[in-house]
Structure 1
Amino acid sequence: MQKQSESYQDLVNALKSASKLLNLERNSQLVQDINTISHYLTNPNFQIAVFGPFNHGKSTLLNAILGNRTLPIDLIPTTGAAITVKYGSDLRTRIMLRDGTEIYRSGTEILQQYAILDGNRQMRQDVASVEVFCPHPFLARGIELLDLPGTNDREAQDILVRDRLLSTDLVVQLLDARKLMTLGERENLRDWLLDRGIKTVIFVANFINLLEPEEQQQVQNRLLFVAESFRAELPPGFSNLYRVDALPALRARLKGDAAGATSSGLATFEAALQNIVTILQQNRGDVRLPRVQAIASQIQLNLQAKIDPLLKEVKSFDEKENAKIEVKQKAANLIQQGLNKSFTELRNWLELTNLLKKYQTEATVAIAEDKFKTWQIGTLKKDLSELQLNIMKWLYQAYEFFKEERPEDLSIPLPSEPQITLPPKPGSNNDLTEPAGAVAVGGGIGWLLGGPVGAAVVGSISYLLNKNIQETDDKSAQESYHQQVAKICIGVTEDYFTELSNQGLAILGEFEYKAKRVTRFSGSPEPLEIAHKRQDLQQLQISFNQLVQQLSKAKVPTNYQPYRETPKYIPYTPPVEKEQTTYSQKEKANNSTSSTYRYSYKTAETNQANSNQRVNTSPPPKASTSPNPAEVDTNFRNWEIDQEIARMKAEMRSPGYQANKQQQKTSQSNKAPQQPKTQAEKDKITRAYSILGLQPGVSINEVKQAYKSLVKKWHPDLFVNQPQLQKQAQEKMRLINEAYTILSD
């Protein structure tokens, strides 16, 4: 039995741990029930309580069972404490006072001082427990008898009885045959026993011997009805109703009158009681655990009332934070996509072969014509600055969006102006007579190579570069002077662009590494208030789940499922940088998460009308020659990214951003535009569908795709060299924009 009690210790710990988190009042009924049931589960003895109103003969019945006047009895309400009768080698009494004092006495006379009601029929407040030890063989089997104060007399007595009934394995409810099952008794049976899972109950009718014979039969019939209507959970084959005339039974037992004990009903009741107890002792879990279910359900209900509001608040915070991270991550993808493209464009521009291919002819001619500085500022520096500004645009977008680290300016300096050394001039009346030597470009060689000779140098430069004849061979001595000068000019420009390429790529590589800090973002720390609530929530959930686990382990039914414990808050940290990929690879990966947003064609006719709707981004400059569709598609994609990031910024700033994440995620992409209310609106929408070449009622995604296709087809930049067609395209774009506005609003 001791081993079985120890097996419930974990369940007891779970019950007590959960109750502490509820912050219940110390004297609340639930706290009292938890303490009682905890003691009950760990008590190895089997306890039988005699329960009923005052003057029903409870103490007399127990004395009859014990065979002596162990417990105080009188004609007035006597028992003023719960008296536990246990096995002992000799008859003795132990009184425990609330101040810790322990009183031991032989016999039971001391009960008259501590365990009966005072003159005002009140229980003593200084008594914590009363125990009587008795050498009876029935008690030696690990059985305890509990004599309870009478009910329906004083509220304090009722509270004590109600609490102690919860910790008894078998309840003997004593009935007065003269006033059978009063309203108070029926209420106690329901509220104190049935509703708390206490169903191992035996009814014992007393005082039947005081009734007339014809009344006895009527009472017996009523008793059978009461017993049959109460579904007691006793072992099969045993009745839950017995007749015992308590006082005659005690007198017979004190005289040793076996026949009198039998005629009083005591012998029959004792035999049944011993057999019932023997069986129930072997299945203590079936008796005790239903009591636990009722208490555990109250604890779980109270825990749930604390958990659910906290869970809702913490979950709402987590969803909002995740929504912010998702928006930022999407923005980071878009920004990184544009940034990678800009880095790639500048990196390609700095490649030596590309620099030579694009600029060498102009640069070499500029040297020969003493216009290198002007060309360097007006062409080379302008192109480089534009490419650097494209990169900085994305970095400042990132800084504005994430507020992590302010970007440094990208500055790739141009090399010093080239210097050349002219070869000796051949002796000729037509040649110049100034001596050759090192001449800075700033000083110019134009004045040295003026007239026909200078023109010939420029011509040789173009010829040599176009023919790719730059290597020196055996014929160099036979080359004309202007060809030699041209080769020197070509050589210094190649050195110039080599220096620009090497230095620029090195600076760009270092800058690109630093730029990663600008485009990374971290999650915000958890507010202290939410952190405390999360901690409380986690403790409550852990306690709740431990209780559910222990109830399941003890095979106690429960209507509750364990919570999925709320994880600790870990602020978002950027992922570890992986090996750098090319722009085209990243663009392909990001396209799956990118959304298409409206592109507004900015013409002189529509600028004013759209000024309040456009994002503050500059349209790409128009080319001097007609662009091809691929260039228009690239520009369109850049504008889409600008529009997307601007929308995200607006969304982050708007009050509606704090809405529930589920509402933020609600997709409208598969819904058709709202239905119009007036005929005029219907006509406008029908015309808009027609302009975009769509059937009425299609989804917003289909509207966007049609709009995008038409913009690429009718972009006015495609017709810059065809004024008439460009004018038509502008009108077409106006109609397309109007149609898209109508269908997307």
Structure 2
Amino acid sequence: MQEQESYQNLLTHLRAAVGLLDFEQNSQLQKDVTSICDNLGNSSFRIAVFGPFNYGKSTLLNALLGKRTLPIDLIPTTGAAITVKYGSELHTRIIMSDGREISENGTDVLKQFTILDDDRRMRSDVASIEVFCPHYFLKSGVELLDLPGTNDMEAQDTLVRDQLLTADLVVQVLDARKLMTLGERENMRDWLLDRGIKTVVFVVNFLNLLEPEDQKQVYNRLVFVAESFRSELPNNISNLYRVDALPALRARLKGDGAVVQSTGLPMFESALQSIVEVQQGKVTNRLPRVVAIASQVKLALQSKSQAISNELQAFEDKRNAKLQIKQKAQQLLKEGFKADIAKLDSWLHLAKLINRYKSEIISALEKGEFQTWEQGAFKNALSEHQQAILKWVHQACEFFEQPQPANLWVSFPEPPEVVLPNQPSTSTQSSGVAPIALTTGLGWLLGGPVGAAVVGGATYLINQMAQDGENSESSASYVNQVQEAYTEAAEDYLLRFNIQAIATLRQYEEGAEKVINCQVKEEPLKLTNQHHQLELLNALLDNLNQELNRVARN
């Protein structure tokens, strides 16, 4: 009991692994884990007999029991796992898949539920079959397990493979006439060795049908094979026996003890009893297969852990790559934005504005076309600079998922007002009145008492004054004064535009830089189901390793 309790932690971790690994339906490893976990607490000593169809398994068991307990025939028969337990009288109990129980004296009912159908398939509605037999060997808690023949149908092979893991001792029946076929060798490796089943006794049947010299060669070949499966058996007990099953059964039924002795059955029976006496009740006898299955579970856990780690690493790499892209994009946006801001600043430089646009403004004022000029060429030049800047900001908002700031909108100041000097005295004009030229669609208007529309600018004035008899020196002086008035008006307009535009630009730049220079943060790795699952997998792996090491030390 103490040994059994010492392995409960290991079994707990194995059961947890089954749930965590999320096996596919009918996964063999899942079934193996369930089998060893359920079987470790079983106090019975199970002896499973297996081999291909028509190798005499049921005949061998009937010879051991001394009666025709199990169905035998010349064709493949046993299509279910039959557990033979001790009972005061021969009795059969069959549990159906729907929970219904069939209980009858004797074993005649087995033919109805265990014989293969015409397609050599097992019944799918049978959950378990138990036969109770009043045999002294079974009274000590021994169970005999008659398994379907292998190498015939996949369903039978699957059932045999599952049941072998629950056996404390495996009896593999061999046919001396076709010794160790490829299928048998594969089964020994996949079903026994790889699953930690090393308590195997080999029984050679039909050896009596061979010539004496052939018998010796067959036996010698088997000695080497048997050695691989005796590490958990007592040193003084062989695990290779010759039993002529059918002659032994016939002799038992007749009560002919001498013939029974010649079949090799008594030696085999004695070996089974000795093995049971030594190993019964020891949980450590089942440890190798627990360790073997646990090792397979470890590999499955490691494989799944690695797969999740790779997936998370790929996600992190993608996240880092995305971060780098954002950082590079931000740098490009910053550079482009600053470059176009610098271009607009340069364009707005007052000296450059005056040098570039003063003459155009004067000409437009003289022609009365200032508004047309302002809303045309001048506005277009400003708009090009504004759109170049807005492009970077809009891209930044879209890329960084930021709200759009108010658009950059530089408005124009009030139109310029030209204050003209007083004209030289004439017979038709009073002196002392300062006319004002206003930008209108007609050109400019002289204010004051004249009140007449004058179209054509300074040139018109010169010609007009010449016709009126004004001297040329006085006319030229007046025209220069008029030109200075236009110049002052143009420069004043550009100054007001410069101040207003730069203030607007600085204000917009402050808001736009918050978008473009927003902190590009590394996206946090959220604790997703995958992270949680990876933590559980790694924790379970650590626990499993600790328990396996502890069991190995004990």
TM bin, normalised by shorter chain, reads 0.5 to 0.7
> Could you say which residue in structure 2 is the equivalent of 1:536?
533
> Could you say which residue in structure 1 is the equivalent of 2:297?
299
1:227 Cα deviation from its structure 2 partner: 3.3
* One-letter amino acid matched to 1:63: N
1:228 and 1:12 map into 2 onto residues whose CA distance is: 30
> Could you say which residue in structure 1 is the equivalent of 2:11?
12
CA contact (8 A) 1:314 1:530 kept: no
1:548 Cα deviation from its structure 2 partner: 2.8
* One-letter amino acid matched to 2:295: S
> Could you say which residue in structure 1 is the equivalent of 2:547?
550
Which digits, 9 at most, give the CA deviation of each residue in 1:631-686, with x for residues without a partner?
xxxxxxxxxxxxxxxxxxxxxxxxxxxxxxxxxxxxxxxxxxxxxxxxxxxxxxxx
1:556 and 1:118 map into 2 onto residues whose CA distance is: 50
1:292 and 1:315 map into 2 onto residues whose CA distance is: 36
CA contact (8 A) 1:314 1:534 kept: no
2:174 and 2:78 map into 1 onto residues whose CA distance is: 17
> Could you say which residue in structure 2 is the equivalent of 1:21?
20
* One-letter amino acid matched to 2:541: F
What is the TM-score of this pair, normalised by structure 2? 0.59
> Could you say which residue in structure 2 is the equivalent of 1:729?
none
CA contact (8 A) 2:198 2:228 kept: no
* One-letter amino acid matched to 1:292: V
CA contact (8 A) 1:193 1:199 kept: yes
> Could you say which residue in structure 2 is the equivalent of 1:193?
192
| Percentage of pairs with the same residue | 62
1:101 and 1:234 map into 2 onto residues whose CA distance is: 40
CA contact (8 A) 1:174 1:205 kept: yes
Greater radius of gyration (CA): 2
1:62 Cα deviation from its structure 2 partner: 0.5
1:94 and 1:103 map into 2 onto residues whose CA distance is: 6
> Could you say which residue in structure 1 is the equivalent of 2:51?
52
2:6 and 2:92 map into 1 onto residues whose CA distance is: 31
1:535 Cα deviation from its structure 2 partner: 2.5
1:385-396 alignment, distance < 5 Å: none
1:321-470 alignment, distance < 5 Å: none
1:579-598 alignment, distance < 5 Å: none
CA contact (8 A) 1:199 1:231 kept: yes
* One-letter amino acid matched to 2:247: P
CA contact (8 A) 1:5 1:44 kept: no
Alpha-carbon spacing, 1:139–1:231, altered in 2? closer, same or farther (3 Å): closer
1:218 and 1:18 map into 2 onto residues whose CA distance is: 47
> Could you say which residue in structure 2 is the equivalent of 1:85?
84
CA contact (8 A) 1:293 1:556 kept: no
1:234-313 alignment, distance < 5 Å: 234-281=233-280, 283-285=282-284, 287-308=285-306, 310=308, 313=312
1:229 and 1:305 map into 2 onto residues whose CA distance is: 30
1:229 and 1:289 map into 2 onto residues whose CA distance is: 17
* One-letter amino acid matched to 1:10: N
Alpha-carbon spacing, 1:228–1:310, altered in 2? closer, same or farther (3 Å): closer
CA contact (8 A) 1:203 1:227 kept: yes
Identify which of structures 1 and 2 has the higher relative contact order when contacts are C-alpha pairs closer than 8 Å and 6+ apart.
2
Structure 1 gaps, min length 5? 322-523, 558-745
* One-letter amino acid matched to 2:99: G
Structure 2 gaps, min length 5? 321-520
> Could you say which residue in structure 2 is the equivalent of 1:132?
131
1:299 Cα deviation from its structure 2 partner: 1.6
1:110 matched to 2:95? The reply is no
CA contact (8 A) 2:87 2:134 kept: yes
Structure 2 SS opposite 1:173: strand
CA contact (8 A) 1:5 1:43 kept: no
1:206 and 1:79 map into 2 onto residues whose CA distance is: 18
CA contact (8 A) 1:8 1:42 kept: no
Which digits, 9 at most, give the CA deviation of each residue in 1:339-394, with x for residues without a partner?
xxxxxxxxxxxxxxxxxxxxxxxxxxxxxxxxxxxxxxxxxxxxxxxxxxxxxxxx
Which digits, 9 at most, give the CA deviation of each residue in 1:373-423, with x for residues without a partner?
xxxxxxxxxxxxxxxxxxxxxxxxxxxxxxxxxxxxxxxxxxxxxxxxxxx
1:297 and 1:250 map into 2 onto residues whose CA distance is: 42
Structure 2 SS opposite 1:138: helix
> Could you say which residue in structure 2 is the equivalent of 1:205?
204
Structure 1 SS opposite 2:40: helix
2:3 and 2:141 map into 1 onto residues whose CA distance is: 14
CA contact (8 A) 1:82 1:147 kept: yes
Which digits, 9 at most, give the CA deviation of each residue in 1:70-115, with x for residues without a partner?
1111111110001111112222111112222222222111111111
CA contact (8 A) 1:245 1:265 kept: yes
1:249 Cα deviation from its structure 2 partner: 0.8
Q: CA RMSD in A?
A: 2.9
* One-letter amino acid matched to 2:165: L
Alpha-carbon spacing, 1:253–1:23, altered in 2? closer, same or farther (3 Å): same
Structure 1 SS opposite 2:527: helix
1:157 Cα deviation from its structure 2 partner: 0.9
CA contact (8 A) 2:196 2:293 kept: no
Which digits, 9 at most, give the CA deviation of each residue in 1:409-441, with x for residues without a partner?
xxxxxxxxxxxxxxxxxxxxxxxxxxxxxxxxx
1:31 and 1:230 map into 2 onto residues whose CA distance is: 25
CA contact (8 A) 2:199 2:230 kept: no
1:143-162 alignment, distance < 5 Å: 143-162=142-161
1:223 matched to 2:222? The reply is yes
1:9 Cα deviation from its structure 2 partner: 3.5
Which digits, 9 at most, give the CA deviation of each residue in 1:477-510, with x for residues without a partner?
xxxxxxxxxxxxxxxxxxxxxxxxxxxxxxxxxx
* One-letter amino acid matched to 2:294: A
Structure 2 SS opposite 1:203: strand
1:230 Cα deviation from its structure 2 partner: 5.7
> Could you say which residue in structure 1 is the equivalent of 2:485?
none
1:314 Cα deviation from its structure 2 partner: 8.4
> Could you say which residue in structure 2 is the equivalent of 1:38?
37
CA contact (8 A) 1:202 1:241 kept: yes
> Could you say which residue in structure 2 is the equivalent of 1:457?
none
1:223 and 1:531 map into 2 onto residues whose CA distance is: 56
Alpha-carbon spacing, 1:300–1:223, altered in 2? closer, same or farther (3 Å): closer
Alpha-carbon spacing, 1:172–1:532, altered in 2? closer, same or farther (3 Å): closer
2:224 and 2:13 map into 1 onto residues whose CA distance is: 41
> Could you say which residue in structure 2 is the equivalent of 1:469?
none
1:15 Cα deviation from its structure 2 partner: 0.8
1:3 Cα deviation from its structure 2 partner: 5.8
Task: Please identify runs of 4+ aligned residues in structure 1 that moved more than 6 A.
Answer: 314-317
What is the TM-score of this pair, normalised by structure 1? 0.44
1:537 Cα deviation from its structure 2 partner: 2.7
> Could you say which residue in structure 1 is the equivalent of 2:391?
none
